[in-house]
Amino acid sequence: MSGPIKSKNGDISKAPTPQNTPASVTNSYLRSQPPTVSTIEETNEENVGQQLANNPALLSMIQGKLGDLVGAQSGYIDSLPKSVKKRVWGLKAIQQQQMKLEAEFQKELLSLEKKYFKKYEPLYARRKKIINGAEEPTTEEIEEGEALEENDDEDTEEAKIQELKDSKAEEDDEEEEDDEEAAAGIPGFWLTSLENLSTVSETITDRDSEVLEHLIDIRMEYLETPGFELIFEFEENEFFSNQILTKTYHYQAELGYSGDFVYDHADGCEINWKSKENNVTINIERRKQRNKNTKQTRTIEKLTPTESFFNFFDPPKPPKRDEEDDEEEKDDEDEEDEEDEDLDARLELDYQLGEEIKDRLIPRAIDWFTGDAVEYNFPEDFDGQEGEELDSEEDEDDEDDSEDEGKPKENPPECNQQ
């Protein structure tokens, strides 16, 4: 998150679209001094456009000048009387006091979140045991859950029909009770939950699903410093030897301009794949090559990174500031801009995935498994109103576009997993 806007050196008080300039001042200026251009003869827009097109150097210079004006101060504050400036300075001091209180609020809020998270942990531990068949829910828990389900469905005709079917099938269920007991816990709980969370599901491939079937728990822990760690626990499987995979999100120690904690970077973990064939983050291309002299044939393997949910544990790294400052200007600036945009998109997606798993999946895992969170339109982009329906087809199109933007645009540049 960027800091406060700072004024730049130089006299730009005559900028055509200054910031922080009251409309009344602008209007009076336009009435008293209509803008004139004395160095260019009057001509039509097509001729002006043609002249600029024929002179790339002039066009580049104009674009550079306009670029310098973006975010720049207009000089209006400097032109105020000293008595007014003092009042402005006084307001800045008052705002600074408010920002200090905001910092205290955010720190106390984080402390409160950690306090209640400690109270959630026994419930999450109980959930884990039931999911994996180590324990069974109590009679009271089952009855309360059934009551909640009936309360949710009591106004729907389909629910009443389903209730009749369920009561009719109770006898069959009792006969098959022995078979049901053979399936411990809730198979595929976390895979189903992840696939119902749309942003996450877009990163899951068919090969990933085979691995994620071995998930036995997803949980989180707060760090001592601002940040949190996501913990993915797996049962023994044929894909990798890790029992635990972690992803850690770090925030800056100082609050941002808006008063919130500012995301800094994420750290993943190394996945110890048992073989190249079981590594779902790479594709293996094999081709035979014959030696012209010896006529012997050998097989050549080419490993290429591919899209995978498990790239989540090898997060993109933002460029270091020193490297950015010392980096020499490249010949192809358009290609450099595309690379920067791609990196920004991957960093944004990586942060979004972590936040959704932390704030949506872990607290409401059963609702994602059953699909209730999807049915009740759990907000994709939280705007303060849960379950808000789209007002028009145009909004639906915008939502589709936003989902497309969340998809990873290309494979990661290198694969660090083994």
Q: What is the number of residues in the chain? A: 418
CATH of 187-323+338-380+399-405, one of 3.30.1120.90, 3.50.50.60, 3.40.50.11890, 2.40.50.140: 3.30.1120.90
Average pLDDT over residues 390-413: 46
Higher pLDDT, 320 or 249: 249
Q: How far, in Å, CA of 409 to CA of 314, rounded? A: 16
Domain range annotation of the chain: 9-32+39-79, 139-182, 187-323+338-380+399-405
**3-state secondary structure (DSSP) of residue 269:** coil
Facing residues of 222 across strands?
Answer: 228
pLDDT in tens, 264-303: 899 999 999 999 999 999 998 877 777 777 777 777 778 8
Average pLDDT over residues 198-208: 93
The answer to whether 312 touches 353, Cβ cutoff 8 Å, is yes
The pLDDT value recorded for residue 391 is 45
State the sign of the Cα–Cα–Cα–Cα dihedral 374, 376, 377, 380. negative
Residue spans of alpha helices (H) in 132-205: 139-153, 157-168, 170-175, 177-182, 189-196, 198-201
Contacting residues for 105 by C-beta, under 8 A, at least 6 apart: 259
Residue with tokens 């700072």: 6
Provide φ and ψ at 19, rounded to 5°: -90, 160
Q: Give whole-number Cα distances, 87 to 7, 19, 22, 73, 341, in Å.
A: 19, 19, 17, 19, 42
Chain Cα centroid distance, residue 355 = 7
Q: Residue 311's closest CA among 236, 216, 238, 409? A: 409
Q: Is the pLDDT of residue 386 over 50?
A: no
What's at 252, amino acid-wise?
Q
Q: How far, in Å, CA of 322 to CA of 76, rounded? A: 35
Sheet (strand 261-267) strand order:
215-222, 227-234, 244-255, 261-267
With 0-12 CB in 10 A as exposed, 13-18 as middle and 19+ as buried, what is 213? middle
pLDDT in tens, 220-244: 999 998 999 999 999 999 999 999 9
Q: Is the pLDDT of residue 89 over 80?
A: yes
pLDDT in tens, 128-142: 999 999 999 999 999
Question: Which segment, 12-16, 74-78, 358-362, is predicted with the most confidence on average?
Answer: 358-362
Confidence of residue 329 (pLDDT cuts 50, 70, 90): low
C-alpha angle 307/205/182, rounded to 5°?
145
Confidence of residue 343 (pLDDT cuts 50, 70, 90): confident
**3-state secondary structure (DSSP) of residue 266:** strand
Question: Which segment, 96-100, 178-182, 294-298, 407-411, is predicted with the most confidence on average?
Answer: 96-100
The pLDDT value recorded for residue 212 is 96
Confidence of residue 306 (pLDDT cuts 50, 70, 90): very high
User: What is the CB-side half-sphere exposure of residue 71 using CA atoms within 13 A?
Assistant: 8
Average pLDDT of every residue of the chain: 74
Q: How far, in Å, CA of 73 to CA of 21, rounded? A: 9
Residue with tokens 């009435």: 31
Least confident window among 40-44, 63-67, 93-97, 376-380 = 40-44
Average pLDDT over residues 198-216: 94
Chain Cα centroid distance, residue 168 = 46
The pLDDT value recorded for residue 58 is 66
With 0-12 CB in 10 A as exposed, 13-18 as middle and 19+ as buried, what is 234? buried
Confidence of residue 248 (pLDDT cuts 50, 70, 90): very high
**3-state secondary structure (DSSP) of residue 248:** strand
**3-state secondary structure (DSSP) of residue 301:** strand
Higher pLDDT, 68 or 186: 186
Quote the strand ranges of 356-407, DSSP E. none
Q: Is the pLDDT of residue 25 over 50?
A: no
Interhelix angle 56-69/45-53, nearest 10 degrees: 100
